[in-house]
Structure 1
Amino acid sequence: MAPVRRYSAGDRAVVAVGLGLAIALELALIWGPALASIVLSGTDWDGIGQPRWVGGGNYADLAGEYPPFWPAVRNNLLWLGFLALIATPFGLLCAVLLDRRLRLSRVYQSALYLPVVLSLAVVGFIAQLVFSADYGVLNAVTGLTTDWLGDSSINLWVVMLAAGWRHTGYVMIIYLAGLKSVDPALKEAAAIDGASETQTFFRVVFPALRPVNVIVLVITVIEALRAFDIVYAINKGRNGLELLSVLVTENIVGEAARIGFGSAIAVILLVISTGFIVVYLSQIFREDR
C-alpha cells in the first residue's frame, strides 16, 4: 500500500493563499458587483446623495414608462437568435469542412479566425467603412445609395451580420478542436454499418460533441447579451440599435446618472442570460442521468 503523502504547513499555506486570492477576486469582480446591482436596483440613487428605497418601482417604470426598454429587449433577442440560428451553425459547417483536410485548409482557417482577434469596437469601425451611406465600400461598388447604418428598419440586421462575421470564426475554432477529439473509430463503425456522411455526423459525431455544444451555447448567449461596443461605435446604440447593455451604460454613467434604474436593467440582463443557460444545462444533466 502506497504511503499517504502528508502536506507540510508551507504547502497548505501556499494552497490557502492561492485559493484565497482566486476566491477574493471572484467575489470582488463578479459576485460583489452582481449582488450590489441587485440591491441598487431597488433604490433611487444618483451616485452622490443618499439612496432612497423604491422597491420594485424601477422595474415598473421600465415596463411602462421607459420607451427604449422593449425595443432593446427585442433587439437583444433578435441578436441572440441570429447568432444561435445562423452564425453558430455556419461556424459549425466551416469546422466540418476544414476537418476534412482540404487543400489550403490552414489558409481558410486563419482567414475565418482573423476577425476573432479584433474587438467588437474595431468590427464596428470596419462596418462603417463598408456600409456607410457616404463613403461605404458597398454603395461605391454597387452604385446604391442605401443608408445601411442610418435606416432603423435595416441597420440592426447589418450590424448583426458584422457581429456574426466575428462570432463565426470563434465558433469554428471551438468546434474544430472538438471534431479533432472525436474517436475516428466511431466514424469507421458508422461507415461499416452503411451510414452516409450526413447520417454519421448527425447520429454519431454531433452527439459526441455535447460538451462542446454546451460551451458554444454559453458563449453565444454571453456574446448576444453583452453586445455593446459595436453598436456604440456606430451610433451610440440609438436609432434602431438600442440594446440592454447600452441602456445600462446610459443610465449609470450618463449625464443624468440613475444608478438604481440602470442597475434594474442590468439585473434583467443577468436574469435573461442566466435563464437560457440554466434551462439548457438542466436538460443536458437530465439526459445524462
Structure 2
Amino acid sequence: MASTELKKSPSAPRGRPRRTRRLSSRDRAVLGLMVGIPALVHIGLVWLPAFGSVLLSFTRWDGIGGFDTIEWAGFDNYRQIFTNYPPFWPALQHNVIWLVFFLLVPTTFGLFLAVQLDKNIKGSRLYQSAIYLPVMLSLAIVGFIWQLVYSPEQGLINNILGRTGQGDLIDWLGDPSLNLWAVLVAASWRHVGYIMILYLAGLKSVDPSLREAAAIDGASSRQAFWHVVFPALRPVNVVVLVVSVIDSLRAFDIVYVINKGTNGLELLSVLVTNNIVGEASRIGYGSALAVILLAISLSFIIPYVRSIFREQR
C-alpha cells in the first residue's frame, strides 16, 4: 500500500517584518497634488474668508478705500446688531421658524415616503426619481417655479381655489402674513426628496433579523418600526438634523428671487448680503452678522462631528 507524504506549505517565519512597497517619487508627487490642490482650494475659499470675516467684524470699513482706511471698532458692531438694528430679530425669528418647520414637516413627510418606498412597491424606482427630482434644482429655480404657482391671477393655487376675481385674490407672496409660509412650502418641496433618500438609505442598511425578531415576539409592523427600526436610524437622524439646520440657515436664493428678502421674508443670510454688497456697504457690520450666523451653525455642527469621531473610536 503506497503511502503518501503530506507536504506542508511553507509559511513565512514568524517575527520577520513584512516587506512594504515604497512609494516612488512619482507616486509621492501624484499624491501630493491630489491632496494638496483640494486642500489649498478649500483653505483659500473657505477658511481664509471665514477668518477674514471674524477679523473684519471688529472693524469699520466701507470696502471702498484701501486697508489703511479700516478702523478698529471692537464689539461696537455686535452691540449695534443686538440693540439698534431692528431687522435682526425678525430675521433671526424667521430662521428659527424655518428650522422648526423643516424638522417637523419635510422631515416627517420624507420619513413617511422612505418607509413606503422601502416596502418595494410596484414602480418604487419611478417614485424615487420623481420625488428626488426637485433636489437637482437650485433654490433660485425653485423660487421662479413657485412664483408661477403662487401668482395671484394666473397661479395654480388661486385657480384651484376659485380666487381669481379682482376683489377675491390671495397674494401669497405679497402678504407679509402669508409669504413666509408659502416660501416654506416651496422650499420643503425641494427638501423632502433629500430627506427621503437619506432615510431610505438608512432603512436599507437596517439588519432584517431585527424586524424578524420583533415579529416573532408578536410586535406589529408599527411597533417594530418605532421600537426597533427607528432607534437603529440614529446616525441618519443626526445627519438629517445637521442638514436641516444648514439648509435653514443658508436659505437665501429663494427669498432673494421673490422679493430680495423683504416684506416678511427677512433672513440672516439676506442681511449679511445687504450690508456687505448693498448700496451702503458696511463690511464690518455685515461680517459681524456672518459671524453670528457661523456661530449658530457651529453649535449644531461641532456636536455632530464629535459624535462621528466618538463612534469611530
Report deviation, 1:281.
5.3
CA distance in 2, matches of 1:80, 1:203: 26
Q: Which residue of 37, 40, 60 corresponds with 2:56?
A: 40
Mapped pair 1:66 → 2:85: yes
Mapped pair 1:129 → 2:145: no
**Which whole-Å deviations, capped at 9, do the CAs of 1:169-197 have from their partners, x for residues lacking one?**
11101211221122212211221122221
Contact persistence 1:121–1:230 (CA under 8 A) = yes
CA distance in 1, matches of 2:23, 2:48: 33
- In structure 1, what residue type is equivalent to 2:127? Y
Alignment correspondent of 1:85: 104
Mapping for residues 1-289 of structure 1, pairs under 5 Å: 2-49=18-65, 50-144=69-163, 145-279=169-303
Q: Structure 2: which 5+ residue stretches go unaligned?
A: 1-11, 13-17, 164-168
CA distance in 2, matches of 1:157, 1:276: 24
Give the direction of change, closer, same or farther, for the CA distance of 1:16–1:284 in structure 2 (3 Å limit).
closer
- In structure 1, what residue type is equivalent to 2:293? L
Of residues 42-51 and 7-16 in structure 1, the stretch that sits farther from structure 2 once superposed is: 7-16
CA distance in 2, matches of 1:157, 1:281: 32
What TM-score does the superposition give when structure 1 sets the normalisation length?
A: 0.94
Please list every run of at least 4 consecutive aligned residues from structure 1 whose deviation after the TM superposition is greater than 3 angstroms.
Answer: 279-289
Does the residue aligned with 1:257 lie in a helix, a strand or coil?
coil
- In structure 1, what residue type is equivalent to 2:118? D
Of residues 132-141 and 257-266 in structure 1, the stretch that sits farther from structure 2 once superposed is: 132-141
Would you tell me which structure has more helix in proportion to its own residues?
A: 1
Of residues 80-89 and 104-113 in structure 1, the stretch that sits farther from structure 2 once superposed is: 104-113
CA distance in 1, matches of 2:238, 2:39: 25
CA distance in 1, matches of 2:278, 2:312: 47
Contact persistence 1:221–1:273 (CA under 8 A) = yes
Identity across aligned pairs (percent)?
61
- In structure 2, what residue type is equivalent to 1:272? I
The Cα RMSD (Å) is 1.9
CA distance in 1, matches of 2:173, 2:263: 9
- In structure 1, what residue type is equivalent to 2:70? P
Contact persistence 2:242–2:304 (CA under 8 A) = no
What TM-score does the superposition give when structure 2 sets the normalisation length?
A: 0.87
CA distance in 2, matches of 1:101, 1:134: 42
Aligned length: 289
Contact persistence 1:214–1:281 (CA under 8 A) = no
CA distance in 2, matches of 1:132, 1:210: 41
CA distance in 1, matches of 2:285, 2:235: 38
Q: Structure 1: which 5+ residue stretches go unaligned?
A: none
CA distance in 2, matches of 1:288, 1:76: 33
Give the direction of change, closer, same or farther, for the CA distance of 1:16–1:269 in structure 2 (3 Å limit).
same
CA distance in 2, matches of 1:207, 1:142: 42
Report deviation, 1:199.
2.1
CA distance in 1, matches of 2:113, 2:74: 49
Larger radius of gyration: 2
- In structure 1, what residue type is equivalent to 2:204? K
- In structure 2, what residue type is equivalent to 1:10? R
Does the residue aligned with 2:23 lie in a helix, a strand or coil?
coil
